[in-house]
Amino acid sequence: MTKLHSNKKKLDSNNKIINFLQTFNQIFNKNNSVKNFGKVTIFNEKNKLKQDLIISTEKSILKGLLKNNIKVKHRCMNGTCNLCACSVIKGKENIISSSNQELEKDIILPCCCKIKKNKTVELKIKNEK
C-alpha cells in the first residue's frame, strides 16, 4: 500500500467520524440535552463493518436501522417471523423489549425493541439482505 493510499484511507475514516459527530450534534438542542435518541453500534457479519447510528427511542430499533439504510431481513414487523433477529454484544440493559426471554439469550428482535433514551447498544447483525 502506498503512503498516498494510506493517507486517503485515514482521511476517509476521519470524514466518517466528523459526519457522525455532526449528525449527533444536530440531535442536541441548545442546552446540550438529547431529545429521545440513543446510539446503536452495529457490526455486520457479512462485510465485517462497524457503524454507529443515532436512532429514535420512540420507534423500534429495526425502524431506526432501516431509516439509516441498514438492510436487515424482515417481514412481519411484530416478532413472529424472527427474520430480523440479531445478537446483543453490549448494552442489553439499555433495550426495552417485549420479550425478556430474548434478552436472556442475548438475542433480540429489533422489530419489537426500543433503545432507552441517551443510551448505547452494540448489535451484531446476521441477516443482512
pLDDT at 91 over 90: yes
Residues above pLDDT 90, as percent of the chain: 42
* pTM metric for this prediction: 0.71
Please report the pLDDT score of residue 11 as a whole number: 60
Mean pLDDT value across residues 21-41: 66
Distance CA 22, CA 101 (A): 37
Closest CA relative to residue 121, chosen from 98, 102, 85, 96: 96
Could you tell me if 110 and 123 are in contact, meaning their C-beta atoms sit under 8 angstroms apart? yes
pLDDT at 7 over 70: no
Question: For residue range 49-63, what is the model confidence (pLDDT) as tens digits?
Answer: 889 999 999 999 999
Taking domain 34-125, whether its CATH number is 3.10.20.30 is answered by: yes
Residue boundaries of the structural domains of the chain = 34-125
